[in-house]
Chain A
Amino acid sequence: MKKYNVVTTISYPKKGAMGKTGNWRVFKPIFDKTKCVKCLRCWIFCPEGSIKREKDDTISIDYDFCKGCGICANECKVKAIIMEREGKK
C-alpha cells in the first residue's frame, strides 16, 4: 500500500484501524440457528458488516466489531436473534 509523507488526517484501511469496537457494546446479539429461516435480513441491515454469511445461508456474528446496536434483532422476523445485556451472567 502506498503511504504518503504529508502530515494531515489520512488513515489507511486495515481491519480494526480504530481498535476492536466490539468493546463499545452494552447489549449483545445472541443467534439461535434452530430458529433461523435464512432470509438474511440481519446480514443486509447490519451497518457494520459484523454479520457473516455462512455457506448454508445461516449467519455468524463477529463480536470483535459488533457494537450491539440491535438492528439485526429488530429486523429478524422469527426472533432468531435476541439482545442480551453484556456481563449478565
Chain B
Amino acid sequence: MTIMIDTGNYIAAKAAVMAKPDVVAAYPITPQTTLVEGIANYVATGEFKGEYICVESEHSAMCACIGVSATGSRTFTGTSSHGLLLMHEMLHWAALARLPIVMCNINRVVGPGWNIWTDENDSISQRDTGWLQFYCSSNQEIFDTVIQAFKLAEHQKVSLPVMISYNAFILSHTSMPVEIPNQQVVDDFLGKRVPQWRLDVENPITFGNIIGPSGYYKVRRAMQDAQENAKKLIPQIAKEWKQKSGFYHGDLLELYKCNNAEYILLSMGAIGAESKVAIDELQKKGIKIGLARVRTFRPFPNEEILKLGKRADLIVIDRNISIGLEGALFTEVKAALYGKSDAKVYGFIAGLGGKDVPYTDVEKICTKAISGKAKEYEWYGVKEV
C-alpha cells in the first residue's frame, strides 16, 4: 500500500489503469482533460498495457467503448458536460446492450454561457439512460468507486454500464492523500471479465437486430431487475473491497450523525462532504440534525430514504434543476416517501453554475428550513424578483 497525494482526475486515472482495461477510448474536455492525460502518461511509462484510442469526439469515444465491450473486453472512458451530452444516444445503446463500460463524468455546467465550473445538470440529464450513477465526495472515494465499479458493472446479475460523477475542480483538480493498494490486491479483487455475451467468430450471433414489442419489453424489464440487483450488490462488493483494501465506500446513502436526528439533510457530491461541517456546527447549537449523502442516484435508494422519512423531516439540496419543476433529488425523495410518510420535505437549489456552497451556506439553508420560514421549495442565494 502507498499513499498518493494527487488530484481527483489523476487518482481516477490511477484507479482505471489498475483495473487493467483492455482499451481506453476518450476525447479530452475541460475539466476531464487531466484524467485522460493521466492515462496517456501511464501509456508513456508502460504502466498501462492496454490500447489507448484517441478518437475525434465523445460520440466516437462511447461507440469505440461499445465495440470493445461487445467483444468481451474491459473498457474505460471519461468525459464531462457537453462531452457527456454528445454521447447521449450511445449511452442508451450501451445500457440496452448490457455492456459493462465504466466511465468517469466530471460534473460541469452545460452551456451557453461558457462555464467550466461544477453543477450536476450534465449527469442528471442522463439519468434515464439505464446507467448506474455514483456521486463521489472525496478522492479516496473516487479511487475505491472506480475499482468497485468494474466489479459491479461486470457482475452477471448487473451487466450494465456505470457512471462515476465527481465535481469539477472541487475534486477533479484538488489534491488529497489517497491510499492505493498493491496491484495484486486489485487483480485478485477484479479478476478477468467474464462477458455475459460477446461478438465471437467461433460462435456467431447477430446483435441489435429487429426486435418486436414483447421482446423489447422484456429487455427493459431485465434492465430494471439488474438495477434492483445492484442495490444489494453495491454494499456487498464494497465489503469485499474493504476486506482487501481496508476502505469502505459502499452504501447507497452515507449516513452521518443521523442517530436521534429530527431533521436529516440530503445532498450529493462535494456538497455532501461540506455538509458534514455544517452538521457539526448545527449540533453544537443543540439542533438535532444529521446528514444522508446520496452516493447512488441510479439505482435510487428509495427504501433507505423512506426509513429516514419515517423518523425525521428532510431537507434536500440540489446542485441541479429540472427546469419547469424543481431539483431532481428533491422530486425523487418526495416520490420515495409518497403515501408512506408524513415528513415535511424542503427543497433548495444551490451552487448552480459552480457557485460556491460553503458549510456556512449549508448551515443557513438548514436553519431556515428548521425555523419554518422556508417555502417548500427555494432557490438559495438568488434574490427573489
* Chain A interface (Cβ < 8 Å from any Cβ of B): 1-2, 4-13, 18
- Can you name 11 A-B residue pairings with CB atoms under 8 Å? A6-B98, A8-B96, A8-B98, A9-B208, A9-B216, A10-B205, A10-B206, A11-B209, A12-B205, A13-B204, A13-B205
- Near A by CB (< 8 A), chain B positions 175-213 give 196-197, 200, 203-211
Alpha-carbon gap, A11 to B156, bound state (A) = 20
The interface residues of chain A, by DSSP majority, are classed as loop
- Chain A's closest residue to B96 (CB) is A8
Residues of B contacting A9 with CB < 8 Å?
Answer: 96-97, 207-209, 211, 215-216, 219
Alpha-carbon gap, A36 to B363, bound state (A) = 90
B218 at the interface (CB under 8 A from A): yes
Residues of B contacting A1 with CB < 8 Å?
Answer: 203
Alpha-carbon gap, A18 to B209, bound state (A) = 10
| Distance of B246 from chain A, by nearest CB (Å) | 34
Query: Contact: A11 with B219, CB < 8 Å?
Result: no
Point out the residue from A2, A7, A11 that lies within 8 Å of B222, measured CB to CB: A7
Residues of A contacting B207 with CB < 8 Å?
Answer: 8-10
Q: Which 9 A-B pairs have the closest CB atoms?
A: A7-B222, A6-B196, A4-B197, A2-B203, A11-B206, A8-B98, A11-B209, A9-B211, A10-B205
Residues of B contacting A7 with CB < 8 Å?
Answer: 98, 218-219, 221-222
Alpha-carbon gap, A70 to B301, bound state (A) = 58
* Chain B interface (Cβ < 8 Å from any Cβ of A): 96-98, 156, 159, 196-197, 200, 203-211, 215-216, 218-219, 221-222
- Number of A-B contacts defined by CB within 8 Å: 47
Point out the residue from B97, B196, B206, B208 that lies within 8 Å of A5, measured CB to CB: B196
Query: Contact: A8 with B97, CB < 8 Å?
Result: yes
Give the interface centre of B196, B218, B222 by most chain A CB atoms within 10 Å: B196
Alpha-carbon gap, A1 to B215, bound state (A) = 21
Alpha-carbon gap, A9 to B216, bound state (A) = 8
Alpha-carbon gap, A12 to B207, bound state (A) = 9
Alpha-carbon gap, A47 to B219, bound state (A) = 31
Give the interface centre of A2, A4, A5, A9 by most chain B CB atoms within 10 Å: A9
| Distance of B206 from chain A, by nearest CB (Å) | 5
Alpha-carbon gap, A8 to B200, bound state (A) = 16
Alpha-carbon gap, A89 to B219, bound state (A) = 45
Q: A1-B203, A9-B97 are in contact. List 9 more A-B contacts (CB 8 A).
A: A6-B222, A8-B197, A9-B209, A9-B215, A9-B216, A10-B207, A11-B205, A11-B206, A13-B204
Alpha-carbon gap, A24 to B210, bound state (A) = 17
- Chain A's closest residue to B209 (CB) is A11
Alpha-carbon gap, A12 to B209, bound state (A) = 10
